[in-house]
Amino acid sequence: MDIVHDRMLEDLKLKNYSKATISEYLRCARVFVAQAKPSPLKVSEDAIRKYILWLSKKRSPATVKMHVAAIRFLYKVTLRRPQLVAGLHFPKVPHRLPDILSREEISRLLEAIHSPMHRAVLMTAYGAGMRIAEACSLLTTDIDSQRGVIHIRDGKRGRDRYVMLSSVLLATLRGYWRLDRPTPPILFPGEKPGACVSHAAVRQAFRKARAETGLTKRVTPHSLRHAFATHLLDDGADIRTIQALLGHGSIRSTARYTQVSVAHICKTPSPLDRMPGGQPAAR
């Protein structure tokens, strides 16, 4: 696997895939190669299909989709045997709406974060609609207090964008700076010198706060980004503006928040309310 691993890593880098995608593709490829007999170079198309069927019984459709993507890349690009995966299709992933945190729940969560840095990271994620990876990797030069914006660099699919810098967030970042005195240019440093805080450390802090506040909703740090978009929509923000702030390439990705926005759902009256007399008919 070492030779295949190194070549696949090179191919992923040449195509400018993100670090997270590279890591996931290589992990999935390692799992597959460990199962491929006698080797991935001699495996048949039928064997690949049977492997995906076996995986489908043990993993969620979303996980299987990632494995399919990695195997397709392995054979189409790295091993140059596209005919082996020509009939390998992505599984249908169920569309589930996210649980949305209320403003009060977010306030309770942030108050339960004991580390000033972790609290600042999570507040940045909510206040600017960032992905956790984007918030963790911020540099001091990305915070433009004069213009009131944050410059997000190299976001998903390599897209840069600007987002608003809330006055509340700016005050929080300044308070965190006075307490922790991080060494520039990294705004949120990790344990290793010269490295940003890890996503795992932020997720762990979030999980502890969620347990401490007794929240039962199925939420993760990424839920703060969902809440950002939904709350903006509730407040009347234009969906195209929200799309730009989130960095979505397609308006369809942003439109999903109309399905969870209470303001959008409740502003449309039910036909039941328009019945004669305003009362339901008696049986």
- Residues assigned a catalytic role: 131, 156, 222, 225, 248, 257
Phi first, then psi, for residue 150 (nearest 5°) are -120, 135
The residues, ordered by sequence, that sit 6+ positions from 117 with a Cβ below 8 Å of its Cβ are 176, 180, 182, 188, 197
Buried-state track 173-202, b at ≥16 Cβ within 10 A, e below 16: beebeeeeeeeeebbbbbeeeeebbebebb
Alpha-carbon distances of 98 from 129, 140, 181, 199, 218, rounded to whole Å: 15, 32, 36, 20, 8
| Pick from 4, 5, 47: nearest CA to 55 | 47
Residue 196 gets which letter from DSSP? B
Chain-centre distance of CA 69, in angstroms? 18
3-state SS record for 203-256:
HHHHHHHHHHHCCCCCCCCCHHHHHHHHHHHHCCCCHHHHHHHHCCCCHHHHHH
* Structural tokens at position 257: 């928040």
